[in-house]
Amino acid sequence: MLFLDFARTCEQLEKTAGRLDMIEIISRVLPGLSDEELPVFVRFVMGRIFPDWNSRKLGIGPNILYDAIRSVAGVKKAVVIDRLNKSGDIGGTVEELLAVKTQMSFSHNDLGLLEVYNQLVSISAKEGEASQREKMRTAMLLLGDARPLEGRYLARIMLEELRIGVGEGSVREAIAKAFNVDSALVEHAMQALNDMGEVARLAKVGPDALKQVSITPFHPVRMMLAQQGSIADMIGEHGELAAEFKYDGSRFQFHKKGNWARLYSRRLEDVTAALPDVIEQLMSATDHDVILDGEVIAIKGGKPMPFQSVLRRLRRKHDIAEAKEAIEMVPNVFDILYLDGETLIDLPFSERRKKLVDVVTMFIAPQTTSSDQAAIETVYENALAAGHEGIMIKVPASPYTPGQRGKNWIKIKPEVDTLDLAVVGAEWGEGKRAGVFGSFLVACQDQGRLITLSRVATGFSEEQLAEVYEMLKESVIKKTGKEVTFEPSLVIEVGYAELQASTTYEAGFALRFPRFIRIRDDKDLADIETIEGIRARYQRQANSTRAYQD
Ligand code: AMP
């Protein structure tokens, strides 16, 4: 496949609003692709380069890309930034600049889809001092051969933000349609493999290949997630439940095969180097090849420490040994997904728990099973008394469903009004805060799109402002006066007193007394609060005010 054909497909998809039409367009392309092209196309069309289990990054920031296009199009960087500021779309900007250039020179080497992919893979492999220059050179080579339309999508892929509205669900349906397989089978294979590209390849082989998938050690699967709910409803629906403490730390997935082990974060990043003590503890707890799911918490003087201490440790690149001395990290294991070559996610939780207890000797999160509301409430009270966040109640008969926020895991914790939101902009600080960002514009999501909800300027310590500045300074894509706009990546938790209807922000609501609580760099943009969630909270708030007035 030529990259131009890929770009044309993207253009067609970008102009298509209906999901069914999108599925149709993609499903028509898939059968014509070779075995090598198929996984690449599938990932590209979702705006990804690598399998989801692979946390490898291309490492081309907006600035490298601006420099590359500046040089290819023969314009000043200020021109690139100016056009970008007007359109807000890097793809469109690159397309326009290449169009001007193409009028002057006609020579093009045709870019192949696989050629682009291989170049991008080689970019990501480059490390060290000279790597930025080499990345820029490769970006220039590719953009130099790109026609304007190709440039549009190449630029967006390089920044890993294709934004043509194709979600994983549409690709799943397109694969099912193209190869005439059940979409539930495609979904199940995706849960185990965590790479839609590979799933497409198997779907082409046939349903049996999809059925036979197994989890591969060191290819992390997405974490199963929890919803809010109530103990009474859950008992009413399921009878017996399993209750565990809800630890306020950081989620991990531990993979071990023989003497080799790695630890992955909730975002599936390899955090082995930051937590050598956790690896050691888990290695000593089992002789088997396993994949375990759990939460690591920080303990000092026998008491759980705030969750921030775990995150700080995860971000730490140096002086790990010193940090290890100061605070003890303790893993709490609550699930097992793989044991000695066997994938366990389809077994009921109660069976998985038996296996877990059989093969892991320490660090297992205690569990109470009961159908008695008072007994579960006692676990909840004990959890709070011991300084934990609350409890998780789980359905014993349920499978492990990677990446799903289903009704089989329910979190019970005291009501606190906080929202996880994306930081999309900031204003430079003044006085003591000069030199760092002082207030932040935050957004929630509406069908995958970010919409602004509030500004947050209080709740930060000086140290936290410096920390946030370091995390965001490379993500600035636009500057207007004292305001900057970010390529969104950072998630923060924001507390508030009340939701108010307002037209100041795109969401149609504003937060009263917004207050920074903590950085949530364990969360992705996909995890932030949705507009539906905010509407529901607003409704609940209105109901409780009414109840109070009655
Ligand atoms: P939340 O982040 O509020 O949606 O709550 C779900 C998170 O609680 C999970 O992603 C885990 O990181 C964490 N957690 C703590 N203890 C448990 C447990 N026993 N079982 C499952 N998740 C837990």
pLDDT per residue as tens digits for the range 365-408? 999 999 999 999 999 999 988 888 899 999 999 999 999 988 99
Q: What residues pair up with 480 in beta bridges, in sequence order?
A: 483
Per DSSP, helices labelled H in 166-256 are: 168-178, 183-193, 196-205, 207-211, 231-238
What pLDDT, on a 0 to 100 scale, did the predictor assign at position 60?
87
Q: Active site residue: 101, 135, 204, 246, which one?
A: 246
Low-confidence winner among 93-97, 153-157, 323-327 (lowest mean pLDDT)? 323-327
Among 221, 227, 251, which residue has the most ligand 1 atoms within 8 Å of its CB, making it the best to mutate? 251
Residue 19 has pLDDT above 70, yes or no: yes
Q: Which of 203, 213, 19, 1 is CA-nearest to residue 116?
A: 1
Query: Hey, whose CA ends up nearest to atom 17 of ligand 1?
Result: 246
Give the tens place of pLDDT for each residue, 466-505: 999 999 998 898 888 889 999 999 999 999 878 888 899 9
Query: Hey, whose CA ends up nearest to atom 12 of ligand 1?
Result: 251
Percent of the chain with pLDDT over 90: 69
Mean pLDDT for the stretch of residues 39-48: 96
Ligand 1 center from residue 274 Cα (angstroms) = 20
Continuous segment of H or E residues that includes residue 30: none
C-alpha R_g of the chain: 25
Relative orientation angle of helices 37-45 and 196-205, to the nearest 10 degrees: 140
Give the tens place of pLDDT for each residue, 59-70: 888 888 999 999
CB 503 within 8 A of CB 509: no
Ligand 1 surroundings by CB, under 6 angstroms: 223, 225-226, 244, 246-247, 251, 295, 334, 365, 392, 411
Distance CA 286, CA 364 (A): 11
Which atom in ligand 1 lies closest to the alpha carbon of residue 250?
12
- Active-site residue, 101 included: no
As a whole number, the mean pLDDT across the chain is 91
Structure tokens at 335: 């699930």
Q: How far is CA 455 from CA 332, 439, 441, 498, 514, in A?
A: 36, 7, 4, 14, 7
The angle at the Cα of 247, spanning 242 to 248, to the nearest 5 degrees, equals 145
Distance CA 549, CA 547 (A): 5
- What pTM was computed for the model? 0.80
Residue 503 backbone dihedrals phi, psi, to 5 degrees: -105, 5
Among 295, 364, 420, which residue has the most ligand 1 atoms within 8 Å of its CB, making it the best to mutate? 295
CB 184 within 8 A of CB 146: no
Burial 441-459 (b: 16+ CB within 10 A, else e): bbbbbeeeebbbbbbbbeb
Q: How many helices (H) and strands (E) does the chain have?
A: 21, 20
Which atom in ligand 1 lies closest to the alpha carbon of residue 365?
19
Among 241, 244, 246, 517, which residue has the most ligand 1 atoms within 8 Å of its CB, making it the best to mutate? 246
What pLDDT, on a 0 to 100 scale, did the predictor assign at position 31?
98
Residue 548 has pLDDT above 60, yes or no: no
